[in-house]
Every structure is written in C-alpha cells, then in structure tokens.
C-alpha cells in the first residue's frame, strides 16, 4: 500500500485550484502531481501559481489517466465536462473524485453507474461535502438516535450573496438546490418520491429574467415534507440554515461560530459571504477521506448513485418548474455495488 499517492486535478477554476492547495498545503497522504483542464491553455496559465512539478500540466484527461504517477483523479471542471472525465478515469481503473453535479443529465449519471458496474466496484466519490460538515453530522446523530421521535417536516434555506457572470436560470436547481436535495436524502436515509416547485416575486438584485428566489417542496418515501428555499442574489451573506420538526422536538443546524461584536449599532455575530470559507472544514475532511480511499483502494464516500438520485430530483424539479404541478420521481433499481 502506498503511503503518499499522486493526484491529478482536472479542471482548475476556482474550485479545482482550491482543491490543489488544500491537498498540498493542509492534507496528508497525497501530492498533486498533475493538473489539466478542458481548456488546456488555462491549466498552463494556472500552473505557475500552484507550486507544482515542472511536468505537471497534462494536455488532456486521456494523458492524465495514462500517467503512472497519478493514482487518483479529482474532477473539478465545469459541469458538462464531468461525464467524459469520470468515464475516462473509471476506464483507466483510477479512483475518481467528481465535483457535483455528477453530470447535468440523468442519462449521463446512468452511464457512469454502468461503467462502475462494468468495473465491478465503486471507483467514484461525488462532491457532496455537506455530509462532512460537523453541524449536519450532529443533526443526523440526533435524528438517527430517535431521541426526538420521527421526522415530520424540514426547512432548508440556501442563500447566496451573488453568482458569477455565466450563471443561468436553470442553475438555481442544478448548482444551488442540488445540495439541499442531497443533504435531505442523507439526513433522512430515504429517497425522494415527488417534488413541486414554486416561484416567488424575484429580487431586483438578480439579473433581468432570472427566477430568484425559487422554492421547492419534496416528499420522502415515508412522507416527510421538505421545504427548500434557494436564493442566488440575496446580497447580504452566504447563509445556510436547516431545521427538522420531529414528533417530540426540533433539531436545527448550528450557526457558524463567529465572534460577538458590540459597537454603536448594537450586538451582532457576523455571517460570511464565501461558500469556500463556510464549508472549509467540511471540504478538508471530505477530500482527506477521499485521499484515504485512494490509499486503501476502496471507496465508501457519497457515490455515483447519490449523484444520480440528486440529478433525478433536479430533472423532476425542472419539469415541475415548467408545469407548476407535482412531479413524481421514478428511480432505476439500485445496483448491488451501491447497497
């Protein structure tokens, strides 16, 4: 068993570069030996700022997969590039970490599942980092213990201050709500069976034509109703909240610890504006756990099935947004490698 594994990072935008730095500066057991990007010139441009070996840039995912010093591949390219990169890594027998969404289409997710079935084992972990957040883990412990009874109703709020220039309307579901979809499946240990999406008055802070905020209602197999609210241009902060009403009590995501400030305007706790800061510890624990899987040669983090199920909720939500009606979900049978 290797003690230090070599990692290739494919896609070196904001997220990919943050992962390169966390692997090399904060985590143990791995070094980034290669980077690449669907736009290879961008990888060449990014490399000098990342303190990497001279031969680090791979011109393509194929070249990265062929390198003997690359044991695991982290895919942080833009959504539409995930499928090809993940399939190439799986075909090469490399462990792969793929940022969410797994792919922007349910069919694409199925192709990745088929590739893993063909390989006969799980090779892919998807980037649902909230599962590694201490606050969500504490909530799950309370729910799983049964201490406050069975869950009835949940509220998930996801408020962003703003989005990048390339942000499009449908991404409020695939980029933002998708985290709430996954964390709901994980918190309750159940699949979602139907979804409805409702619009509200849009904020004047959002670009013309964008629907923002958007709300969704999901129901789990046992009937828990989950109310999801997503805001993309909320301006004031990156504010993530979650609470669950159970038979005998309520459990909520703890607020992030921040110093208490007293000044002329009163007493307050500040809230950050950057998702990388809010979930910094969760990202570190998530990627450390993936590195440990690469070293061990066995994968047990959030799976391609989780990516598929979340994408199926995204697609049903997009349908529901168009029709205004409840949309049932029809998941494929779960392959044995994910049981």
Ligand X SMILES: NC(=O)c1ccc[n+]([C@@H]2O[C@H](COP(=O)([O-])OP(=O)(O)OC[C@H]3O[C@@H](n4cnc5c(N)ncnc54)[C@H](O)[C@@H]3O)[C@@H](O)[C@H]2O)c1
Indicate whether 133 belongs to the interface with ligand X (CB under 6 A).
Answer: no
Minimum Å gap between C-beta 75 and ligand X is 8
Specify the residue, 105 or 193, whose C-beta has the smaller distance to ligand X. 105
Q: How far, in Å, CA of 176 to CA of 231, rounded? A: 8
Specify the residue, 171 or 299, whose C-beta has the smaller distance to ligand X. 171
**Contact with ligand X (CB under 6 A): which of 29, 42, 105, 203?**
42
Indicate whether 127 belongs to the interface with ligand X (CB under 6 A).
Answer: yes
For residues 219 to 258, the per-residue mask of contacts with ligand X, x marking binding by CB under 6 A and - elsewhere, is ----------------------------------------
100 token code pair: 């969410």
CA geometry: angle at 106 spanning 184 and 206, to 5°?
Answer: 65
Indicate whether 50 belongs to the interface with ligand X (CB under 6 A).
Answer: no
Q: Tell me the three-class secondary structure of 164-189, residue by residue.
A: CCCCCCCHHHHHHHHHHHHHHHHHHC
Closest residue by beta carbon to ligand X: 13
Specify the residue, 39 or 92, whose C-beta has the smaller distance to ligand X. 39
Q: Which of residues 72-91 bind ligand X (CB under 6 A)?
A: 76-79
**Contact with ligand X (CB under 6 A): which of 21, 24, 29, 38?**
38
Q: Which of residues 140-199 bind ligand X (CB under 6 A)?
A: 175
Q: How far, in Å, CA of 305 to CA of 115, rounded? A: 12
Minimum Å gap between C-beta 27 and ligand X is 16
**Contact with ligand X (CB under 6 A): which of 27, 34, 36, 37?**
37
Indicate whether 6 belongs to the interface with ligand X (CB under 6 A).
Answer: no
Query: Which residues touch 194 (CB under 8 Å, ≥6 apart)?
Result: 218, 219, 316, 326, 327, 328, 329
Q: In b/e form, how buried is each residue of 257-287, taking b as 16+ CB within 10 angstroms?
A: eeeeeeeeeeeeeebeeebeebbbebbbbbb
- 24 exposure class (CB count in 10 Å sphere: 0-12, 13-18, 19+): middle
> Binding residues for ligand X, per CB under 6 A?
11-16, 37-39, 42, 76-79, 99-100, 127, 129, 175, 275
């Amino acid at each position: 068993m290797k003690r230090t594994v070599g990692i290739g990072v494919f896609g070196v935008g904001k997220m990919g570069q943050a992962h390169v730095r966390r692997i090399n500066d904060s985590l143990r057991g791995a070094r980034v030996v290669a980077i690449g990007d669907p736009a290879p010139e961008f990888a060449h441009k990014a490399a000098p700022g990342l303190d990497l070996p001279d031969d680090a840039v791979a011109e393509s995912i194929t070249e990265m997969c062929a390198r003997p010093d690359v044991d695991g591949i982290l895919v942080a390219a833009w959504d539409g590039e995930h499928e090809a990169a993940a399939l190439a890594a799986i075909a090469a027998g490399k462990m792969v970490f793929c940022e969410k969404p797994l792919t922007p289409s349910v069919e694409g997710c199925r192709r990745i599942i088929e590739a893993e079935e063909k390989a006969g084992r799980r090779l892919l972990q998807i980037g649902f980092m909230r599962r590694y957040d201490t606050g969500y883990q504490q909530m799950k412990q309370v729910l799983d213990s049964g201490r406050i009874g069975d869950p009835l109703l949940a509220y998930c709020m996801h408020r962003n201050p703003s989005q990048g220039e390339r942000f499009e309307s449908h991404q409020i579901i695939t980029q933002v709500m998708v985290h709430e979809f996954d964390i709901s499946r994980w918190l309750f240990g159940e699949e979602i069976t139907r979804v409805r999406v409702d619009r509200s008055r849009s904020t004047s802070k959002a670009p013309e034509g964008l629907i923002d905020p958007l709300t969704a209602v999901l129901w789990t197999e046992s009937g828990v109703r989950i109310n999801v609210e997503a805001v993309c241009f909320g301006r004031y902060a990156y504010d993530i909240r979650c609470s669950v009403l159970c038979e005998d009590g309520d459990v909520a995501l703890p607020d992030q610890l921040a110093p208490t400030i007293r000044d002329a305007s009163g007493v307050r706790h500040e809230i950050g504006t950057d998702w990388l800061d809010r979930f910094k510890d969760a990202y570190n624990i998530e990627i450390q756990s993936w590195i440990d899987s690469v070293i061990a040669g066995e994968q047990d983090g959030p799976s391609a099935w989780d990516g598929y199920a979340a994408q199926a909720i995204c697609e049903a939500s997009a349908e529901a947004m168009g029709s205004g009606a409840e949309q049932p979900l029809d998941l494929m049978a779960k392959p044995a490698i994910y049981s």
